[in-house]
Amino acid sequence: MCCVERAAIDRHRPQMNGKARGLGHNPPLLLPGAAGTLVRSPELLSIIQAAGWPIWPLIICSVVGLALVIERFISLKTSKVAPPKLLDEAIMVSRNGVPGPDVVTQLEQNSLLGTVLATGFRTFNNNPKATGDDLRANLEAAGRQAAAQMQKYLGALATIASAAPLLGLLGTVIGMIEIFGSQAGDGLGVVPGGGNPGQLAHGISIALYNTAFGLIVAIPALMFWRYFRARVDEYVLTMEVATERFARHLISVRKP
């Protein structure tokens, strides 16, 4: 009797070991979905496809905003706007008088501040009898052009920061209108609102992706816009101080 029981146990032992090994295997991560079913966690591409066409303007805004941020970071480098030692070098070069056109051209190609300072040199090169008021007027005009160049594309970045949340809200509203329209009855004996609640909740969550993506685009764009505005204001102040000092220097060394 004992031999018969031991043989039965040995005969079923491989199946029990297989079940034990099966318990140690981790299944793929699944999330509960509508109507008690299991669905895989959504991927980015599926989210974009499910959000509908309103999300594509947001994607375009994100790409354009990223390009503008990179361009402004490159263009607003200190070496390209107002190098720290450029004013001292320009004053050193013009200690004995206004330099020639070659030096002026080289200064103009250096940076935005160099363009403003070169305008002062050109004022006296073109008109040796120019007054201090003429010099300051030309320097101010060149400074305004430099400020406008520094503020280039900042308006577009501000527009993206303002429009992205509105585009996201528009996409969400359109998505929810379509969802509720699909859940309503068609008037042929179907009870209105008799759709699947789980499917309705899933559709609303998909529609809200537009709002979330709009905020994801708008918040960094607003932060970078404020950062670049502050940086431009700092450069403008630096250039104003440097221009006034340079104007006094040119008036003092100008040849009679």
Query: Which sequence spans correspond to the domains of the chain?
Result: 53-76+156-244, 83-151
Single out the residue of 95, 84, 116 nearest to residue 104, CA to CA: 116
Single out the residue of 195, 186, 160, 187 nearest to residue 62, CA to CA: 160
214 with 60: CB under 8 angstroms? no
d(CA 106, CA 84): 17
d(CA 246, CA 135): 10
- Kindly report whether the global pTM for this prediction surpasses the value 0.85: no
pLDDT of residue 8: 45
DSSP 3-state of 190: coil
Q: Assign residue 110 a region: left if phi > 0, alpha if psi is -120 to 50, beta otherwise? A: alpha
pLDDT in tens, the chain (256 residues): 444 444 444 544 544 444 444 434 444 444 444 343 334 445 777 777 777 788 899 999 999 999 999 999 999 999 999 999 999 999 999 888 888 888 999 999 999 999 999 999 999 888 888 888 999 999 999 999 999 999 999 999 999 999 999 999 998 888 888 787 776 654 444 444 456 677 777 778 777 888 999 999 999 999 999 999 999 999 999 999 999 999 999 988 875 5
pLDDT of residue 87: 93
Single out the residue of 253, 239, 240, 243 nearest to residue 120, CA to CA: 243
